[in-house]
Amino acid sequence: MSLATFSFPTTTLFGAGTLAELPRRLDALRIRRPLLVTDPGLLSTEAFQRLDQTLGSKEQGKSWFLYYGVHPNPVERDVIQAAEAFRAAQCDGVISIGGGSPLDVGKAARLLVRRPGFDLAKFYAEPDWSGLAPFVAVPTTAGTGSEVGRSSVITLGAPKRKSVIFHPQLLAKLVILDPGLSRGLPPKLTAATGADALTHCIESFTCPVFHPMCDGIALEGIRLIVEALPRAWREGDDLDARGKMLVAAAMGGVAFQKDLGVVHSMAHPLSTLCGMHHGLANALCLVAGMKFCAERKPGIYRRVGLACGLDVLKCSDAQADQRAISFIADFLAGLGLNTKLRDHGVKPEHLDALVGQALEDPCHKTNAVPVTREDFANLYREAL
């Protein structure tokens, strides 16, 4: 029997209006001078204005500071600058608001606050992670699940590569899932981020690690996404759908403490080398990745199909997989996510570099079945 560690420790506030709880919670966490970490696009949103009003103004004696330089696929410089802003203002905690990128930068910046000049690429050799400033995550997208994750995905080094900085101390002390904050998210981003959450749930469920708790969470996450994502995409003000998607994304984030698979290994290089949105990259590779796994491990998607509401309990393994994969393909198409990689600027001449980085990406090491260089080349060609 394999040994395992199960961990679900994050305090999470859920519901429309829960952002109003933030000042009281900051007091409880002894955060008096928080650094807000976000990206430039967030500053003009209703979500940011609400946070601004909730925290109060400097005239009211409130002290909070802002770093808003986070890039869409965050780079090391973002983390360094956020840490510098923290130190310059003598902050005592970090609040990240936005999608996965500000959340990942806010999380990792606390390590550089404690260890100025630290080389993030060598995080695995850091023996002492104690004393990190408390971190509060306020997601405005329902996708990455970074708010409940203990990792931070930052593009490091030359050549550029998405690196996963991992440590339990990176976890947030508090997560606020307020659906009112995500209702301004445009349909395209709603679909792409939701596809990321869906991919987390599917890949973590099928990853061959013994973790029945995560498996249950992943399957319920799939059910919620199938129910709520089309509504959130069609009708952005549907707070019930937005709320279910926020929870489902957090569930995907919890579930993938099991790990991920081949689709994420394909998606990461598409972001670093071709600048593609992470959720979109997953969406465009998901069906190819599922077909690949099902051919080698028949029956792998039967329970995914059941979570999607399909009657696949008694059919053959091959039929169950085929129906689950067709459902996911149609589901993505219904969200406008049935384009090909070439529609987003990926060219045949990119394939060698994409395959090279995908092979080095750690996610496929826990895929349901092994993936070779040739497999990656075929998979990218299929998605191209």
To which residue do tokens 């030359």 refer? 158
Distance in Å, CB of 222 to Fe ion, minimum: 15
* Binding range to Fe ion, per CB under 5 A, among 29-37, 132-140, 193-201, 226-234: 193-201
**What is the footprint of Fe ion within residues 251-290 (CB under 5 A)?**
none
Distance in Å, CB of 198 to Fe ion, minimum: 10
Name which of 97, 94, 78 is nearest 86 in CA terms: 94
Q: CA–CA separation, 31 vs 52, rounded Å?
A: 16
Which residues does 86 contact at the CB level (< 8 Å), separation at least 6? 35, 65, 67, 94, 109, 110, 113, 133
Pairing of strands 93-98, 65-67: unpaired
Which residues does 44 contact at the CB level (< 8 Å), separation at least 6? none
Q: Is 375 in the site for Fe ion (CB under 5 A)?
A: no
- Would you tell me how many other CB atoms lie within 10 Å of the CB of residue 224? 25
Retrieve residue 379's tokens: 């998979």
Distance in Å, CB of 281 to Fe ion, minimum: 9
Measured from the CB atom, is 196 or 259 closer to Fe ion? 196
Between 138 and 177, how does the x/- string for binding to Fe ion read (CB under 5 A)?
----------------------------------------
Distance in Å, CB of 73 to Fe ion, minimum: 12
Measured from the CB atom, is 202 or 355 closer to Fe ion? 202
* Binding range to Fe ion, per CB under 5 A, among 16-24, 192-200, 202-210, 292-300: 192-200
Which residues does 180 contact at the CB level (< 8 Å), separation at least 6? 16, 17, 19, 47, 50, 239, 242
How many positions of this chain bind Fe ion (CB under 5 A)? 1
**What is the footprint of Fe ion within residues 219-248 (CB under 5 A)?**
none
Contact 143, 196 (CB under 8 A): yes
Contact 163, 198 (CB under 8 A): no
Distance in Å, CB of 363 to Fe ion, minimum: 9
Measured from the CB atom, is 39 or 196 closer to Fe ion? 196
Q: Is 196 in the site for Fe ion (CB under 5 A)?
A: yes
Under DSSP, the state recorded for 75 is B
Q: Is 104 in the site for Fe ion (CB under 5 A)?
A: no
Distance in Å, CB of 255 to Fe ion, minimum: 11
In our burial notation (b when 16+ CB lie closer than 10 A, e otherwise), range 30-47 reads ebeebbbbbbeebeebeb
Measured from the CB atom, is 71 or 115 closer to Fe ion? 71
Find the residue with minimal CB distance to Fe ion.
196
Between 313 and 352, how does the x/- string for binding to Fe ion read (CB under 5 A)?
----------------------------------------
Distance in Å, CB of 254 to Fe ion, minimum: 13
* Binding range to Fe ion, per CB under 5 A, among 34-42, 172-180, 189-197, 228-236: 189-197
Which residues does 21 contact at the CB level (< 8 Å), separation at least 6? 13, 176
Per CB under 5 A, residues contacting Fe ion are: 196
